[in-house]
């Protein structure tokens, strides 16, 4: 049951990340500046509140599965998922969160090119981050199937 709950928690999180990279950000780039600024501010604020807890919850589930599966087949894969997830947490803390905080404070009336560059930077970091969490999910799934 723990593996199922962990799979759902991490799988949905990776799905949200995928949707941001593949669908939401490309749509944001097509909006006029004022609308883009409002949407970025709202998304950054909402994601900035929810995602840290979701990431930590997922990490806790991964650790619980790792403890439970210690010494069992697939443990190395689960351990790899835990380490990769830790890397994603560090990427979030040191690369994504600072930019996200600045974007959450964007003033739509003074949306300038500098803010657009911040959004470009955030989008690039997020693409790397998506690959990292997807890799962790794959390692986890391989580990629990063994």
Q: Give the sign of the dihedral formed by CA 115, CA 53, CA 90, CA 8.
A: negative
Note whether 56 and 107 are within 8 A (CB): no
- Its pTM stands at 0.88
Cβ–Cβ < 8 Å for 100, 2: no
Residue 37: name the closest of 129, 110, 122, 99 by CA.
110
- The predicted-structure confidence for 61-108, as pLDDT tens digits, reads as follows 999 999 999 999 999 999 999 999 999 999 888 888 888 888 888 777
Round to the nearest angstrom and report the end-to-end CA distance of the chain.
16
Could you tell me if 53 and 72 are in contact, meaning their C-beta atoms sit under 8 angstroms apart? no
Domain range enclosing 52: 2-145
pLDDT of the residue at 112: 67
Highest mean pLDDT among 8-17, 46-55, 107-116: 8-17
Report the pLDDT averaged over residues 5-18.
Answer: 95
pLDDT at 114 over 80: no
pLDDT at 98: 87
Under DSSP, the state recorded for 112 is: -
Number of domains in the chain: 1
């Amino acid at each position: 049951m723990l593996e199922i709950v962990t799979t759902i928690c991490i799988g949905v999180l990776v799905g949200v990340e995928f949707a941001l990279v593949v669908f939401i950000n490309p749509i944001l780039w097509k909006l006029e500046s004022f609308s883009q600024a409002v949407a970025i501010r709202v998304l950054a604020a909402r994601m900035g509140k929810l995602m840290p807890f979701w990431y930590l919850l997922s990490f806790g589930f991964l650790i619980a599965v790792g403890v439970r599966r210690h010494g069992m087949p697939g443990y190395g894969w689960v351990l790899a998922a835990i380490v990769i997830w830790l890397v994603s947490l560090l990427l979030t803390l040191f690369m994504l969160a600072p930019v996200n905080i600045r974007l959450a404070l964007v003033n739509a009336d003074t949306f300038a090119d500098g803010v657009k560059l911040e959004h470009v930077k955030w989008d690039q970091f997020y693409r790397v981050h998506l690959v990292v969490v997807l890799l962790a999910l794959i390692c986890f799934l391989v580990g629990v199937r063994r």
